[in-house]
Amino acid sequence: MSFTLQLGAQAPDFELKATDGALYSLASFASADYLVVFFTCNHCPYVVGSDEVTRHTAEKFKDKGVAFVGINANSENTYPEDSFEHMIIRMEEHRFPWVYLRDMDQDVARAYGALRTPHFFVFDQQRRLVYTGRGVDNPRETAKMTTNDLERALTELTSGQPVSVPLTNPIGCNVKWEGQDAHWMPAEACDLV
């Protein structure tokens, strides 16, 4: 069985605390036509390098009914910078246009099969997975990127077209799993394509 959520699968529900202090679940985003759930963190150079591109994409598609949800599942024992307190500081500094949630016990990351930060999951109106993988092809240095897979997927989705490339490999640091070495990944977690 694959570690990562399969195309066509229903979005796993969650109930997680956000940096604004509120609890959020899938139902919190029921008014959005489409939902982007992405696993992210505070410190990863691939996240930091591509956050402004992700911001631009979130803002571009906001009026087309797309909501963005960032989830930090990284172990703060492995990376203290990924603590909830640091998440609050990061959101205050950057004012990203998404809800930023803390997956402390990593159950949501396991349910989605998050491999890296960032790792994007795009869901349609029925909350079925239609795209998963990377945001762009060079998240660490977006000045050198040639492809924005997330933007292409959302352009097609919001235009009523099938997503032409529904699966890519996420590019970034691996999720920092509690009690494991910083570079550990589950045995069944391999490349998606």
Determine contact, residues 95/65, Cβ cutoff 8 Å: no
Domain hosting 128: range is 9-174
Structure tokens at 50: 């591509």
pLDDT band at 67 (very low <50, low <70, confident <90, very high): very high
**What is the predicted pLDDT for the residue at 186?**
75
pTM for the full predicted model: 0.96
Phi, psi of 150 (to 5 degrees): -65, -45
Q: Distance between CA atoms of 4 and 154, rounded to whole angstroms? A: 20
Residue 188 belongs to a domain: no
Q: Distance between CA atoms of 108 and 139, rounded to whole angstroms? A: 23
State the pairing for strand pair 16-18/99-102.
antiparallel
Tens digit of each residue's pLDDT (9 = 90 or more) over 12-58: 999 999 999 999 999 999 999 999 999 999 999 999 999 999 999 99
Q: What is the CATH number of the domain that holds 86?
A: 3.40.30.10
Residues paired with residue 38 on neighbouring β-strands, in sequence order: 70, 120
Q: Distance between CA atoms of 85 and 187, rounded to whole angstroms? A: 31
Residue 138 belongs to a domain: yes
User: How many domains does the structure of the chain reveal?
Assistant: 1
